[in-house]
């Protein structure tokens, strides 16, 4: 019999990425059916009620813990351990942490601020960073466009860059923020209104032996008519001034605005085929274009006249695959409609596992698996069993580098052993999936 354990921890705060990972860890425990560990914002309270949890009174500054299962009690002990680990425990002397972004900026020698709080609170924290004269990456989504414009206008006055809102990926001088791969240093600077799009190009370049100087995310709305490329233009200017950057690449899903590019700058727009964009960059740099690594399936299932199902975690990768395949039903499980109050599918496989189980025999599944810091530490362990049991033929676009902690080649081998064909190029994976039909 399943039981619910629900509690509210007053005044306990952790950022949303940390809480997503904690929720995933608890949900994977034996005897646990579902676990929600989140700040008690109205949105998260609504999510918990939708899951039929009885929620006691709580404030947004409180931590909500809701666990359901046949043996939910061990989850509480594991939660305490995880929360202590993220406090930096271990017997060290207690240090009073800064209570605001402004006070943190005054007390540290920080070069950049990362904001990861509920969207309704992100503007105030990001504005504090800008006022302190620091560039800021706003991981949070759900920030009103009017606030984004005001924030970026003030940043222009202060001479700093705003990355985001809804910026999931950045790499600054080799240091990754959000979802980021381990990349060799090199001459290519990337300005990205798409996180997974930037990751695909950067990973292909890395596999070809070419590194990046920086990846500056600008948020998915920056190149919209409303925002007008405010951050993209500044990011391009910053990379143009950077002596380590020889060529700048702009990555965006469907840009409505083209930011200004300084005269004489080596500049390229990625376009809709990210693999072709990486190959153009290599040619521009005078480097050979390699055969992109791929691993054919050990044995293929029949896919005679079936339907292609795109089961994606990255929005730009999903859009690219849809265009390259030219047919099928595609779902971006990283869209806000699916991540509302729950971990991103690059962290939590639940929704995509359900999708794999529902695909009928004779069809083809095309899915992305993105490696790197912040992502699932072992996606093959999460998905390989479901891939092996899936009655459909499975094709995997594996986005990563040989330096990523998940081990690119080990992941590829595990998916191949489960019966999937594996490609490091998402576009090639999409064309292969189409050919199976």
CATH number of the domain within which 18 lies? 3.30.70
pLDDT on residue 324: 96
Sheet containing strand 136-138, edge to edge, reads 113-115, 136-138, 162-163
User: Both 258 and 321 in a single domain?
Assistant: no
Residue 13 lies in a domain: yes
Q: Tell me how far apart the alpha carbons of residues 354 and 386 are, in angstroms, rounded to a whole number.
A: 9
Q: Containing H/E element for 411?
A: helix 408-417
The total number of structural domains in the chain stands at 3
Name the residue range of residue 194's domain. Answer: 101-284
Residue 93 domain-assigned (yes or no) = no
**Domain's final residue, options 53, 87, 121:** 87
Nearest 10 degrees: Cα torsion 404, 409, 415, 417: -160
Task: Encode 82-151 in three state secondary structure.
Answer: HHHHHHCCCCCCCCCCCCCHHHHHHHCCCCCEEECCCHHHHHHHHHHHHHCCCCEEECCCCCCHHHHHHH
Tokens of residue 95, six digits: 């240090």
Query: Six-digit token pair at 102?
Result: 């402004």
Identify whether residues 115 and 209 lie together within a single domain. Answer: yes
- Check residue 302 and give its pLDDT: 58
Q: Are residues 344 and 402 in the same domain?
A: yes
User: What pLDDT, on the 0 to 100 scale, is given for residue 87?
Assistant: 60
Q: List per-residue pLDDT tens for the chain, 437 residues long.
A: 889 999 999 988 887 778 888 988 898 899 899 899 988 888 788 888 888 999 999 998 899 999 999 988 888 889 999 988 766 544 444 456 777 888 888 788 889 999 988 888 899 999 999 999 999 999 998 899 999 999 999 999 999 999 999 999 999 999 999 999 999 999 999 999 999 999 999 999 999 999 999 999 999 999 999 999 999 999 999 999 999 999 999 999 878 899 999 999 999 999 999 999 999 999 999 999 999 999 998 765 656 678 999 999 999 999 999 999 999 999 999 988 887 767 889 988 989 999 999 999 999 999 999 999 999 999 999 999 999 999 999 999 999 999 999 999 999 999 999 999 999 999 999 999 999 98
Question: Which one-letter DSSP state was computed for residue 166?
Answer: S
Q: Is residue 96 part of a domain?
A: no
| Domain assignment present for 375 | yes
What is the rounded distance in angstroms from the CA atom of residue 387 to the CA atom of residue 365?
A: 9
User: Are residues 105 and 199 located together in one domain of the fold?
Assistant: yes
State whether 169 and 260 are in the same domain. Answer: yes
Q: Is 181 exposed, middle or buried (0-12, 13-18, 19+ CB in 10 A)?
A: buried
- Entry pTM: 0.84
Q: Are residues 301 and 417 in the same domain?
A: yes
Q: Are residues 118 and 200 in the same domain?
A: yes
- Please tell me whether residues 138 and 15 are part of one structural domain: no
pLDDT the model gives residue 92:
45
Final residue before a domain boundary, out of 264, 284, 304: 284
pLDDT value, residue 15: 78
Instruction: CATH number of the domain at 335, please.
Output: 3.40.50.261
CB atoms within 10 A of CB 382: 19
Hey, how many other C-beta atoms are within 10 angstroms of the C-beta on 50?
10
- Contact between residue 115 and residue 122 where contact means Cβ atoms under 8 Å apart: yes
Q: Counting beta carbons within 10 angstroms of the beta carbon of residue 56, is it exposed (0 to 12), middle (13 to 18) or buried (19 or more)? A: exposed
Domain stop point among 38, 62, 87: 87
Do the domain assignments include residue 95? no
108 and 202: one domain?
yes
396, 312: one domain: yes
| Burial tier of 165 (Cβ tally within 10 Å: 0-12, 13-18, 19+) | buried
Asked whether residue 94 is domain-assigned, the answer is no
Residues 112 and 246 in one domain: yes
Q: Determine contact, residues 116/92, Cβ cutoff 8 Å.
A: no
92 domain residue, yes or no: no
**Do 157 and 273 share a domain, yes or no?**
yes
């Amino acid at each position: 019999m399943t039981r619910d354990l629900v509690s509210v921890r007053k005044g306990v705060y952790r950022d949303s990425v940390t809480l997503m990972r904690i929720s995933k860890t608890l949900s994977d425990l034996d005897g646990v059916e579902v676990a929600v560990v989140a700040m008690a914002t109205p949105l998260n309270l609504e999510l918990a009620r939708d899951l039929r949890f009885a929620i006691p009174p709580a404030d947004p500054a409180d931590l909500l813990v809701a666990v359901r299962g046949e043996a939910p009690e061990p989850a509480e002990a594991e939660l305490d351990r995880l929360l202590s680990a993220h406090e930096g425990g271990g017997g060290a002397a207690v240090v009073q942490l800064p209570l605001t972004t402004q006070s943190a900026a005054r007390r540290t020698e920080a070069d950049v601020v990362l904001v990861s709080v509920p969207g309704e609170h992100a503007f105030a924290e990001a504005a504090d960073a800008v006022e302190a004269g620091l560039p800021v990456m706003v991981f949070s989504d759900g920030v009103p466009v009017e606030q984004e414009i005001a924030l970026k206008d003030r940043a222009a006055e202060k001479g700093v860059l705003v990355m985001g809102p809804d910026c999931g990926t950045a790499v600054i001088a080799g240091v990754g923020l959000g979802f980021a791969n381990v990349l060799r240093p090199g001459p290519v600077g990337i300005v990205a209104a798409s996180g997974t799009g930037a990751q695909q190009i950067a990973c292909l370049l890395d596999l070809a032996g070419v590194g990046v100087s920086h990846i500056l995310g600008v948020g998915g709305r920056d190149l919209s008519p409303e925002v007008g490329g405010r951050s993209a233009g500044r990011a391009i200017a910053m990379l143009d001034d950077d002596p380590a950057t020889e060529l700048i690449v702009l990555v965006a899903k469907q840009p409505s605005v083209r930011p200004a590019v300084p005269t004489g700058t080596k500049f390229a727009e990625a376009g809709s085929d990210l693999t072709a964009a990486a190959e153009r960059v290599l040619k521009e740099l005078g480097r050979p274009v390699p055969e992109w690594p791929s691993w054919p399936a050990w044995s293929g299932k029949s896919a005679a006249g079936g339907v292609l199902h795109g089961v994606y975690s990255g929005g730009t990768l999903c859009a690219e695959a849809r265009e390259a395949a030219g047919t099928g039903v595609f779902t971006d499980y990283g869209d806000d409609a699916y991540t509302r109050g729950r971990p991103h599918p690059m962290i939590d496989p639940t929704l995509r596992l359900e999708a794999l189980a529902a695909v009928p025999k004779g069809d083809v599944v095309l899915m992305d698996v993105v490696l790197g810091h912040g992502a699932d530490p072992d996606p093959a362990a999460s998905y390989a069993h479901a891939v092996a049991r899936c009655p459909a033929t499975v094709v995997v676009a594996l986005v990563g580098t040989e330096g990523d902690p998940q081990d690119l080649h080990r992941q590829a081998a595990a998916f191949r052993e489960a019966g999937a064909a594996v490609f490091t190029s998402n576009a090639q994976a999409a064309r292969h999936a189409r050919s199976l039909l």
